[in-house]
Structure 1
């Protein structure tokens, strides 16, 4: 799932200064982007994506990835991350500025090592940070300052490192069995400060999993600084990282799926391509083939898994198209769907 911290908007036409924060509608820039992969065995792989990562936003052109939510909401943000990483995203959670403060306080604070002296005041942003270096227990307001600190020579990468320190500390706090009684308050804090396509029951289940213990692996999107302070991904290194850490061998959505209309109504191949892409499939291509009479067949590696997503047809041992991991030949049963 994709975790994104949304920057607040300020009411710039207000008659008072500093400008008050506008009611949160989760439509502004994303300061924090983390792709979190959770496994049934308790492993959590976290990939931090710098907010200034330079990407080609689907349908929008080149820009920083933190602008995707502004231009197309969470759906465009998810698509941008999927196309950047090649990892299917099943869910998203947009967190408001207050989420960190509320969640940290609900968890009873976090203990972490502050790497350096942090002193910063921004009256317009109502941000006042005063932290000493060393290991210490932070409340919600202090944790928020730790994450929002701006005077860092590493810029965006420094923020990413602090995000990872905070998340590790929070998860360590959550998985302490003595803190199980805090779960309802933490769930309430998330519920009030999050926009997500997860149900409340799913969020509770995820927190419950964290309570039982997680093995967390943190990674940062490999790359280098580009023009204008952007972060340019190192795609070969990213591909290697995804293969090593984030590739689920049982997930068919990373495979190349060829769709051939051999006996279905016109437009059926395109409709199936759209359906599979909406489910997170990355490489669905439409190919041509000779007409034939018969039902839909699916062949190739993970054909049974693809069949579940197609929703009809049968798996057969026939040979697939060259270059395709799975071939779907749409037959005369499609008009019944």
Structure 2
């Protein structure tokens, strides 16, 4: 009897605990959804605050006065939702971003405070050369962001002005002519909006985002008294404020010149994206816009800008791809100036794979591994000078690739950053070929960017995970 009573009491106690547990679970679930709801309301309120803060301000985001013909160069169809859906991107959109470095001689009426100086200061203007040019595709259908860097020295036809460097298109005809020139160069791809940001605004933007943590590939020292440009950075991982980041971005006095600068631009962009594109950034948008608004000219509305930032904050970092316009350096004496010579066939392939250009069945064929140029960059430690001499440790890797049909594999110098995980870089945007190599190796991560060897199709930046897998390759397993 006692035993039965004890058993019943235990069962009753268990049920009571169970009900209490379920009640607490239900209650905590309600609180969870309440918290999520409140967070959503706070985010929408923050974005609405951004809209009001900028809309009520006297300085518009668009500072250029486009004629009707110039405005028609851009696709004016709506890209964001209505009402409470204003933060949603509703279709793929291509944005042409131009970075302006403008000196007093570049403008007709330079500000009075820039005169009578012993040097040429940067001027807050959008009338000069576009020394940085990016075409960025935000695609809600594929959930990807693709960035294509166009070197400023790219040799191309500028309508009505002949064959010149593409950075001159802004001087000749502003954002509309630049967009038309870029579209023609890229096979007729549509350009929906433009953004021009002065170099002075870039530093302010990076400061507003709290600086940026990057790996400086090498010691950088350069002095130009004529522009008050003083670069003095040490190699290694560090957190840079706006002025220091500009030093890293503007340095180009090495063997790769402007192409090396593009690689560092992509490195800084990826770092900024990874640390800044999050819901918190949306709530700080009024502050950020207020900081840089005088240095920005764009035909994006604030609603559209919020939609783009919102899409970026929800995009997986592996779906952010960074490419560079395929081409080569001009040879000495080939032209009257030094150029980046675009390679039309390779450009078309990039645009088909990443920007939706229509292709023929022939152009859609899988690339033969034997035709791919594969660069191996040893990034297992920080001693970049020693790596080319220590080739024996990556011989098994090369042998495995050659066995799989890759005939053009070579060793190239890494830029210094030690990696824990091997990066398989789709240097020319061919992510399928990079993924095939990753499947052969069985380790590493694929990245679509242009930070590898510029003469390669795929660059394998070998990290420390190779050392853990090396024995398997040596035994042939």
- Normalized against structure 2, the TM-score is what? 0.50
1:165-200 CA-to-partner distances (Å, cap 9, x unmatched) read 111111111124555543332233342311111112
Q: Secondary structure at the match of 1:88?
A: coil
| Higher Cα Rg, which structure | 2
Determine if the alignment matches structure 1 residue 34 to structure 2 residue 134: yes
Contact 1:48–1:219 (CA under 8 A) maintained in structure 2: yes
Determine if the alignment matches structure 1 residue 244 to structure 2 residue 353: yes
How big is the shift at 1:76? 0.5
Determine if the alignment matches structure 1 residue 6 to structure 2 residue 108: no
1:132-185 CA-to-partner distances (Å, cap 9, x unmatched) read 112111111111111111312101111111111111111111124555543332
Determine if the alignment matches structure 1 residue 98 to structure 2 residue 212: no
Contact 1:100–1:143 (CA under 8 A) maintained in structure 2: no
Structure-1 separation of matches of 2:264 and 2:163? 27
1:304-334 CA-to-partner distances (Å, cap 9, x unmatched) read xxxxxxxxxxxxxxxxxxxxxxxxxxxxxxx
Map 1:210-221 → 2, pairs under 5 A: 210-214=312-316, 215-221=319-325
Structure-2 separation of matches of 1:105 and 1:181? 17
Contact 2:282–2:309 (CA under 8 A) maintained in structure 1: no
Structure-1 separation of matches of 2:122 and 2:236? 32
Structure-2 separation of matches of 1:180 and 1:195? 20
Contact 2:279–2:310 (CA under 8 A) maintained in structure 1: no
Structure-2 separation of matches of 1:212 and 1:153? 38
Aligned with residue 326 of structure 2, among 200, 222, 225: 222
Q: Secondary structure at the match of 1:229?
A: coil
Aligned residues: 248
Residue of structure 2 in register with 1:77 after alignment: 178
List runs of 5+ in structure 2 lacking aligned partners: 1-94, 359-477
Aligned with residue 185 of structure 1, among 272, 275, 287: 287
Task: Pick closer, same or farther for the CA change 1:192–1:184 going to 2, 3 Å.
Answer: same
1:259-302 CA-to-partner distances (Å, cap 9, x unmatched) read xxxxxxxxxxxxxxxxxxxxxxxxxxxxxxxxxxxxxxxxxxxx
- Normalized against structure 1, the TM-score is what? 0.69
Determine if the alignment matches structure 1 residue 114 to structure 2 residue 208: no
How big is the shift at 1:202? 1.5
Structure-2 separation of matches of 1:216 and 1:165? 12
Structure-1 separation of matches of 2:162 and 2:285? 42
How well do the aligned residues superpose, as a CA RMSD in angstroms? 1.9
How big is the shift at 1:241? 0.8
Determine if the alignment matches structure 1 residue 149 to structure 2 residue 251: yes
Q: Secondary structure at the match of 1:25?
A: coil
Structure-1 separation of matches of 2:102 and 2:225? 15
Structure-2 separation of matches of 1:84 and 1:161? 21
Decide which structure has greater strand share: 1
Q: Secondary structure at the match of 2:131?
A: strand
Q: Secondary structure at the match of 2:275?
A: helix
Structure-2 separation of matches of 1:16 and 1:189? 27
Map 1:1-337 → 2, pairs under 5 A: 1-10=95-104, 14-22=115-123, 24-40=124-140, 41-86=142-187, 87-177=189-279, 179-214=281-316, 215-226=319-330, 227=335, 228-247=337-356
How big is the shift at 1:115? 1.0
Decide which structure has greater helix share: 2
Residue of structure 1 in register with 2:54 after alignment: none
List runs of 5+ in structure 1 lacking aligned partners: 250-337
Contact 1:146–1:162 (CA under 8 A) maintained in structure 2: yes
Q: Secondary structure at the match of 2:104?
A: coil
